[in-house]
Structure 1
Amino acid sequence: MDYISTRGKVGAVGFIDAVLMGLGDDGGLLVPKRIPQVPADTLAQWSKLSYPELALELFSLYTDGEIPREDLKQLVDDSYAAFRDKDVTPVRKVNDGTYVLELFHGPTFAFKDIALQFLGNLYSYISRQKNSIIHILGATSGDTGASAIEGVRGKEGIRICILHPHGKVSKVQELQMTTVNDANVLNLSVDGNFDDCQRIIKDLFADVAFKQEYHLRAINSINVARVLAQIVYYFYAYFRLDEKVRAAGGVNFSVPTGNFGDIFAGYLAKRMGLPVGKLILATNENNILERFVSEGVYQPGEFHMTYSPSMDIQVASNFERYLYYLYGEDSEAVCSLMDSFKKDGRIGIPAEKLAQVQSDFAAYGVQNDECLATIGEYHDEYGYLLDPHTACGATASAKHTAQGETTIVLATAHPAKFNEAIELIHIEQTFPPQIQALFDKPQFQTRVPGTNEAVKAELLKFF
C-alpha cells in the first residue's frame, strides 16, 4: 500500500515510511493512495472475529505485506493484551435506539489507548528493525499525552516529549502524564491553549532539516497510523449489534471530536464499505466543525474553556484529510484551500461542496449546560455515568437520531478522568484504583512559554 500527501508534493511511500514521516514533508497529511474496499461476504466473515483478530485483518489491508503477518499479529496481540475488558471495546445497550461503545478500557482510561498502544509498539518494532533511535513529539488536549507516554515509556531506542496547555487539562489527565518519571519522557506545560501546542508541533515538523537531524516522529493524529487503528472499532461495534438491528438499515455513529481524527476514521470505515448511516459530529462550544457542516465556513472563533476540555480545539488537525476527499483527491485544490486558511484564517466552500459535506455528516455543538444535563439524564434514567465528552456525543445523538434509527455513541473516556464536571451535578463516583493512586505521586513537568523557540530549546537539551 502506497501513501501520498494531501498536498501532492511527496512521492508515494510505504506504510512504515509514512508512519515515520508523520506530517508530510510538504506540510500535508499522508493518506492511503487508495481506500481498500470490503465486500459484503468479507464483512460477514469478519463479524465473528475477536477485536485483535479483526484489527489484524484491517491492518493487513493497509500494510499490504510490508510487515510480515506473524510480526503484525504479535504487535496487535501485545497492544490489546493490557485492556481491562475481554472485548477491548465493548458495546452497551442504553435504550432501544442507543448504544454506547466503551473505548476507555485501556491503560489510561481513554480512547486514545486503542491507537497509541499499537503505535507505541509499532515504533518500538521499527526502532529494532532499523537499529535507530526515535524521538517522538506530540501535543495533547489531555488524553493523547497520557496514552502516548504509556505506550512508549521505558522502551529502548525511544524518547518522547509531550506538550500540554498549562492549566487547561483535567487534573487526572495532568497527573497521568506528569507523574511518569521515566528517563525517556519529557512533559512540557505550555503557556497557551491546545491550538498553540499543535501549531508549535506542526511548525517543528515542517522544519524538515530539524525533523530529519533529530529523527522526529509524530504521535498525534497527523500520523496516519493513528487514524487507521481507529477504523477497527467502527467495524467491531457494528458487528456487536443484533442482526435484526443491522438488517434494519445503516447504523449511525455519534462521535465527540475536536481534532476530526476519530470521526474521520468513521468516514474511512464508511468509504471502505461498512454500512454506516449518519456520522454525527459532536463538538462543544468551540464549534468550528459544526459551523463548517452547517454553513460551509471553516474559521476559528473565540476560544472557550468547557467541561469537555479534550475538545477545546479550534483548528482540527485531520480536517485537511477530509478536504482532500471532498475535493475529489485534488491536491492542488487542497493546497489552495490551506494557503487561503494560512493567509486569511478561513476556508469557504461552494454550495455543491456544502451539500456533499451535509451528506457525509450531521453536526451539533453542545453547550456546557446541555452537557451536564445529559450526564444527569443518563445517570438518573439509565444508571449509566457518562464523561463530559461522551455526553456531548449523546446530546448530539438525541438531536439527529430519528424514530426507529439506531445510533452508537462513542464513549471516549472514563468519567473518573473528568470528576470536576461530574461533581457540579452532585454525582459521586468511585475512582478506579489506578486513577486514585495518581493523587499521591510527585509530578515532573517543565513550564515553557508558548513559542517555537522555547520548546525547541527544551527539545535540544532532552535529545
Structure 2
Amino acid sequence: MKYISTRGQVEPKGFIDTVLMGLADDGGLMVPEHIPVIAPETLNEWKSLSYVDLFLTIFSYYTNDEIPADDLRDLATRSYANFRHPEVTPITKIDDSLYIMELFHGPTFAFKDVALQFMGEFYSYVSKKQNEIIHILGATSGDTGAAAIQGVRGKEGIKICILHPHEKVSRVQELQMTTVDDQNVLNLSVKGNFDDCQKIIKELFGDLAFKKEYHLRAINSINFLRILAQTVYYFYAYLHIDQGQHQLKKINFSVPSGNFGNIFSGFLAQKMGLPINKLIIATNENNILERFVQTGEYKPGDFRSTYSPSMDIQVASNFERYLYYFVGEDAAKVSEYMNILKSEGQIVMTGDDLAKVQSDFAAYGASNQECLDMILKYKGDHDYLLDPHTACGITAYEKYQGDDEICITLATAHPAKFDEAIILCEIEQEFPEEIKELFAKPQYQEVVEHDTAEIVRQLESFYALD
C-alpha cells in the first residue's frame, strides 16, 4: 500500500512517511492508492474480535508491515489501556431503532482520544526509532487539543503546540488544555475563531522550508492516521449491535461533524465494504456541510458561536478527501475544484453531481434551540444525558430515520465537557472526578493575536528550548 496526494503532485509514500508528512507537500491530503475491500464473510469473522484486535486487523491492510506486528500491538494496547471502559467504545441501546456509541471513555472524555492516544504513542515510537525531535503543531475547536496534549505530554523527543480560538471553547475544554504545565507543551489562545487557527496551521505546513527545519508533524484530521483510527469504531459498532434482532433492517450512522473527518472515516469504512445504509452528517448553525448536501453549494458562511463549539467550523478540511473520490480519484479535477474554491469562494454542484452527493450523505444542521430541546427530551424520556454535539446527532437521526432502519448515533463527548448547555436545560449533572479537579488548577497559555508572524515567533522561541 502506497499513499498519494489528492492533488497528485507528491510521489507515492509509505505509511510512516505519510503520517509524518501530515498535510501533503502540494497542499493536498494524503489518501491510499487503493482502498482494500473486505468480503462479507470476513466481516462476519471479525465479530468475535476485541477492539484492539479489530484495530490491528484493519491497520494491517494499511501499514505495509513497516511497523513490526509485536510493536504495533504494543502501541495499540498502551493507547487503549487508559480508557475507562473495557470495550473502548461501548454501545448503549436506547430503543429498537436507536443505539448510541459512546466515544468519550478516553482520558479527555471526547472521541478525539480514540485516534490521538494512538497517534501520541506512534509519534513517540517513530521519534525513538529515527532519533529525531518531533514538533507537533495543531489547531483545535476544543477537543483535539486536549486529546493531543494528553497523548504526548511528558514524552521524550516530542513537543506540541496547540492553537485554540480565544474564549470560543467550553470552559472544561480550555482547562483540559491549559492546566498542563509540562515543558513540552505550548498552548496559544488565538484571538479569532477555529477557521482562523486552522488557516495559520495550513500556512505553516505549506511553508516547506519551515516545516522541514522544525520537523513539523500534524495531529489534525488532515493526517490520514486520524481518519484510519476512527474508521475502526464504525466497524466495531456495526459488528456489535444486536444484529440478530435487526438483521432485516438497514443500518445508518448519524455523525456530529464539523471538519468532515469523523464522517469521512465512516465513508472510508463504507468504501471498505461495511454495508452502511445512510451516512447522516449532523451539524449545528455553522451548517456549510448541510447546505452542501441539500443544495450543492459549498461556501463558507458567517461564523456563529453555538452550544456545540467543537462543530463551530466553516471550512471543513477533510472535504477535499471526499471530493477526490467524488471525481473518480482524478487529482487534476480536485486541483481544479480547489482552485475554484480559492478564487471564487465556493464550489457548486448541480444536476447529476448533486444527486450523487445526496446518494452519499444526508445532512441536517440543528439550531441552538433544537439542540437544547433534544437534551431535555432524551433526559426526560430515556434518562440519558446527551452532550450538545450528540444532541445534534440525535436531531439529525430523528429527521432522517426510516421505518425499516436503525441508527447508530456517535456520542462524541461527555456532557460534563459542555455544562454551559446543560445548565441552560436546567439539568444538574455530576462531574467526573477528573473534570472536577481541573477547576482548582492554574492555567498556562499565551493569548496572541490572529497573526501568522506572531505565531512563528512563539514557535521559534518554544523550539529553541530543545
Q: TM-score scaled to structure 2, two decimals?
A: 0.99
Does the 8 Å contact 2:252/2:277 carry over to 1? yes
* 1:408-437: CA deviation from partner (whole Å, max 9, x where unpaired): 000000000000000001000000000000
How far residue 344 of structure 1 moved from its aligned partner, in angstroms, is 1.2
Mapped partners of 1:12, 1:350: distance in 2: 33
How far residue 10 of structure 1 moved from its aligned partner, in angstroms, is 0.2
How far residue 115 of structure 1 moved from its aligned partner, in angstroms, is 0.2
Tell me what 1:100 maps to.
100
- Residue 428 (str. 1) matches residue 440 (str. 2): no
Tell me what 1:23 maps to.
23
Mapped partners of 1:198, 1:26: distance in 2: 17
SS in 1 for 2:48: coil
* 1:112-170: CA deviation from partner (whole Å, max 9, x where unpaired): 00000000100001101101000000000000000000000000000000000000000
Runs of 4+ in structure 1 over 4 Å off: none
Could you say if the C-alpha distance between residues 278 and 422 of structure 1 is closer, same or farther in structure 2, counting changes exceeding 3 Å?
Answer: same
Mapped partners of 1:48, 1:369: distance in 2: 41
Which 10-residue stretch deviates more, 56-65 or 434-443? Answer: 56-65
Tell me what 1:88 maps to.
88
Tell me what 1:236 maps to.
236
- Residue 223 (str. 1) matches residue 223 (str. 2): yes
Tell me what 1:311 maps to.
311
How far residue 64 of structure 1 moved from its aligned partner, in angstroms, is 2.3
Tell me what 1:157 maps to.
157
Which 10-residue stretch deviates more, 348-357 or 97-106? Answer: 348-357
When the two chains are superposed, the root-mean-square deviation of aligned CA atoms in Å is 0.7
Mapped partners of 2:347, 2:404: distance in 1: 36
* 1:360-409: CA deviation from partner (whole Å, max 9, x where unpaired): 10000100000000000000000000000000000000000111310000
- Residue 166 (str. 1) matches residue 166 (str. 2): yes
Tell me what 1:339 maps to.
339
1:392 counterpart letter in structure 2: C
Does the 8 Å contact 2:189/2:446 carry over to 1? yes
Q: Specify every segment of 5 or more residues in structure 1 that has no aligned partner in the other structure, as ranges.
A: none
Report matched runs for 1:41-80 at 5 Å: 41-80=41-80
Mapped partners of 1:192, 1:47: distance in 2: 45
Report matched runs for 1:96-245 at 5 Å: 96-245=96-245
* 1:18-56: CA deviation from partner (whole Å, max 9, x where unpaired): 000000000000001111111011101111101001001
Mapped partners of 1:330, 1:230: distance in 2: 25
* 1:205-242: CA deviation from partner (whole Å, max 9, x where unpaired): 00000000000000000000000000000000011111
Which 10-residue stretch deviates more, 451-460 or 177-186? Answer: 451-460
SS in 2 for 1:137: strand
1:39 counterpart letter in structure 2: A
Mapped partners of 2:150, 2:60: distance in 1: 25
1:41 counterpart letter in structure 2: E
1:283 counterpart letter in structure 2: T
SS in 1 for 2:60: helix
Could you say if the C-alpha distance between residues 245 and 320 of structure 1 is closer, same or farther in structure 2, counting changes exceeding 3 Å?
Answer: farther
Corresponding residue pairs, total: 463
1:54 counterpart letter in structure 2: L
Does the 8 Å contact 2:249/2:404 carry over to 1? no
SS in 2 for 1:277: coil
Mapped partners of 1:60, 1:298: distance in 2: 35
Does the 8 Å contact 2:448/2:454 carry over to 1? yes
Mapped partners of 2:244, 2:280: distance in 1: 22
Could you say if the C-alpha distance between residues 116 and 86 of structure 1 is closer, same or farther in structure 2, counting changes exceeding 3 Å?
Answer: same
Tell me what 1:320 maps to.
320
Tell me what 1:401 maps to.
401
Does the 8 Å contact 2:250/2:404 carry over to 1? no
How far residue 246 of structure 1 moved from its aligned partner, in angstroms, is 4.6
Mapped partners of 1:207, 1:349: distance in 2: 31
Mapped partners of 1:216, 1:250: distance in 2: 43
Which 10-residue stretch deviates more, 107-116 or 70-79? Answer: 70-79
Report matched runs for 1:265-414 at 5 Å: 265-414=265-414
Mapped partners of 2:401, 2:419: distance in 1: 28
Which 10-residue stretch deviates more, 41-50 or 222-231? Answer: 41-50
Mapped partners of 1:337, 1:451: distance in 2: 28
* 1:431-458: CA deviation from partner (whole Å, max 9, x where unpaired): 0000000000000000111111111110
How far residue 353 of structure 1 moved from its aligned partner, in angstroms, is 1.5
Tell me what 2:37 maps to.
37
SS in 2 for 1:322: helix
Which 10-residue stretch deviates more, 423-432 or 248-257? Answer: 248-257
* 1:262-314: CA deviation from partner (whole Å, max 9, x where unpaired): 00000000000011010000000000000000111100111110000000000
SS in 2 for 1:77: helix
1:323 counterpart letter in structure 2: L
How far residue 65 of structure 1 moved from its aligned partner, in angstroms, is 1.0
Does the 8 Å contact 1:251/1:406 carry over to 2? yes
Tell me what 1:260 maps to.
260
Percentage of matched positions with identical amino acids: 63
1:270 counterpart letter in structure 2: Q
Tell me what 1:453 maps to.
453
Mapped partners of 1:294, 1:243: distance in 2: 31
How far residue 245 of structure 1 moved from its aligned partner, in angstroms, is 4.1
How far residue 343 of structure 1 moved from its aligned partner, in angstroms, is 1.0
Mapped partners of 2:134, 2:349: distance in 1: 39
Does the 8 Å contact 1:188/1:448 carry over to 2? yes
Mapped partners of 1:350, 1:99: distance in 2: 34
Mapped partners of 1:241, 1:453: distance in 2: 50
How far residue 354 of structure 1 moved from its aligned partner, in angstroms, is 1.0
Does the 8 Å contact 1:281/1:290 carry over to 2? yes
2:203 counterpart letter in structure 1: D
Does the 8 Å contact 1:245/1:406 carry over to 2? no
SS in 2 for 1:47: helix
Does the 8 Å contact 1:3/1:30 carry over to 2? yes
1:115 counterpart letter in structure 2: A
Q: Specify every segment of 5 or more residues in structure 2 that has no aligned partner in the other structure, as ranges.
A: none
Does the 8 Å contact 1:238/1:246 carry over to 2? no
1:331 counterpart letter in structure 2: A
Which 10-residue stretch deviates more, 340-349 or 278-287? Answer: 340-349
Does the 8 Å contact 1:104/1:110 carry over to 2? yes
